[in-house]
Amino acid sequence: MSITEESVLLPKFRKMTTHRTFTMIKPDAVENGHIGGILEKITSAGFTIVAMKYTQLSKRDAQAFYAIHKERPFFDELVDFMTRGPIVSAILEKENAVEDFRALIGATNPEDAAEGTIRKLYATDIAENAVHGSDSDENAAIEGAFHFSGREIY
Ligand code: ATP
Ligand code: MG
């Protein structure tokens, strides 16, 4: 491959490998009218939306998505909450996306979340905490693929 060909291909390759995370705007935040405010925080922080949909999880979806928590005492409450109304799910792209997005959303319990974070601004309590953010690159890929087919990602 010539240097010219490489320099033409590199930006595409880099785009494919740029870090991504997965998010959901949870039913509480949708009910409370915060979709617009949360998307504004996300794009202002430098994240690009590469996939997005307005949808509602079935019980089976929520049980599978949060299967890691199935032994926790709050699991049934979590499944009921996540299925009680529509959500917005999205794949976001940015260098260091997973870590930067976790910083942007703040601690699980909004009482512990830093000022200016999405959960501090929009969450109700530790259960109804407005947004989900993937906790690792591996889980971001799994969660993104759970919600979106390849042709829904741009
Ligand atoms: P998420 O995975 O949704 O981004 P998180 O990574 O900050 O949240 P987890 O420990 O993965 O927190 O918990 C998943 C979700 O389960 C929380 O976001 C919250 O909705 C719910 N949850 C966690 N702890 C509790 C609790 N003690 N009581 C009720 N619900 C809880
Ligand atoms: Mg989590």
pLDDT digits (tens, 9 = 90+) for 36-66: 999 999 999 999 999 999 999 999 999 999 9
Domain that holds residue 127: 17-57+88-152
pLDDT for residue 108 is more than 50: yes
- C-alpha separations of 62 from 19, 22, 78, 83, 87 in Å: 25, 15, 8, 7, 12
- How many angstroms is it from 5 CA to the middle of ligand 2? 41
Q: Say if 81 falls within a structural domain.
A: no
Q: Say if 115 falls within a structural domain.
A: yes
Q: Say if 3 falls within a structural domain.
A: no
pLDDT at 10: 46
Ligand 1, from 98, 122, 129: best to mutate by most atoms within 8 Å of Cβ? 129
pLDDT at 15: 46
Residue 129 counted as an annotated binding residue? yes
Q: Say if 79 falls within a structural domain.
A: no
Instruction: Tell me the pLDDT tens digit for each residue of 62-98.
Output: 999 999 999 999 999 999 999 999 999 999 999 999 9
Would you say the CB of residue 78 lies under 6 angstroms from ligand 1? yes
Instruction: Tell me the pLDDT tens digit for each residue of 12-33.
Output: 444 444 599 999 999 999 999 9
What integer is the mean pLDDT of 123-129?
98
Residue 75 counted as an annotated binding residue? no
Q: Say if 62 falls within a structural domain.
A: no
Q: Say if 129 falls within a structural domain.
A: yes
Domain of 26, CATH number, reads: 3.30.70.141
What integer is the mean pLDDT of 109-134?
98
pLDDT at 6: 47
User: pLDDT-based confidence at 107, cuts 50/70/90?
Assistant: very high
d(CA 21, CA 150): 15
pTM of the model: 0.90
pLDDT at 92: 98
pLDDT at 39: 98
- Burial bucket for residue 151 (CB in 10 Å: 0-12, 13-18, 19+): exposed
Q: Say if 73 falls within a structural domain.
A: no
Within 8 A by CB and 6+ apart from 150, the residues are none
Q: Say if 116 falls within a structural domain.
A: yes
**Number of domains observed in the structure of the chain:** 1
Residue 70 counted as an annotated binding residue? no
pLDDT at 18: 58
Would you say the CB of residue 137 lies under 6 angstroms from ligand 1? no
- How many angstroms is it from 17 CA to the middle of ligand 2? 23
Q: Report the atom number in ligand 1 closest to the C-alpha of 81.
A: 20
- How many angstroms is it from 126 CA to the middle of ligand 1? 7
Would you say the CB of residue 107 lies under 6 angstroms from ligand 1? no
